């Protein structure tokens, strides 16, 4: 299992459209992907679970990946979030 920390810089935080995009990106990989915010963790396989975290702009998150393509999956998820922050 690998993980990477990030600060959410998306102006509106992680809302429904972002959660859907995270879910879609995660579906491209064999690895299991998770988003951790505070003491709570959500699978990127569940849009509702992602939204339930209530991640706002400026929040510190951790992205976790477990599987054969975990390094590539982490790069893709971080890239997706960074792309939306601009």
Q: What is the pLDDT of residues 74-84, one digit of tens each?
A: 999 999 999 98
DSSP track, 52-64:
HT---TT-EEEEE
Half-sphere exposure (CA, 13 Å, Cβ side) for 62? 11
What does the pLDDT average to over 50-63?
Answer: 97
Task: Please tell us whether the domain made up of 2-84 is placed in CATH 3.40.50.1980.
Answer: no
In this predicted structure, what is the pLDDT of residue 85?
Answer: 85
Look at residue 86 and tell me whether its pLDDT is greater than 90. no
Q: In what order do the strands lie in the sheet with 60-66?
A: 2-7, 60-66, 32-37, 40-43
Domain boundaries, the chain: 2-84
Candidates 15, 20, 23, 37; catalytic one: 15
Q: Confirm whether 23 is a catalytic residue.
A: no
* Band of residue 60 on the pLDDT scale cut at 50, 70, 90: very high
| pTM score above 0.85 | yes
Half-sphere exposure (CA, 13 Å, Cβ side) for 56? 0
Cα 30 to Cα 80: distance, rounded to the nearest angstrom: 17
């Amino acid at each position: 299992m690998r993980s990477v920390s990030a600060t959410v810089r998306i102006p509106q935080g992680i809302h429904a459209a972002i959660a859907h995009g995270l879910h879609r990106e995660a579906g491209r990989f064999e690895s299991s992907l998770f988003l951790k915010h505070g003491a709570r963790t959500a699978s990127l396989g569940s849009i509702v679970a992602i939204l339930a975290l209530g991640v706002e702009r400026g929040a510190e998150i951790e992205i976790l990946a477990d599987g054969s393509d975990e390094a590539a999956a982490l790069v893709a998820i971080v890239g997706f979030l960074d792309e939306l922050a601009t």
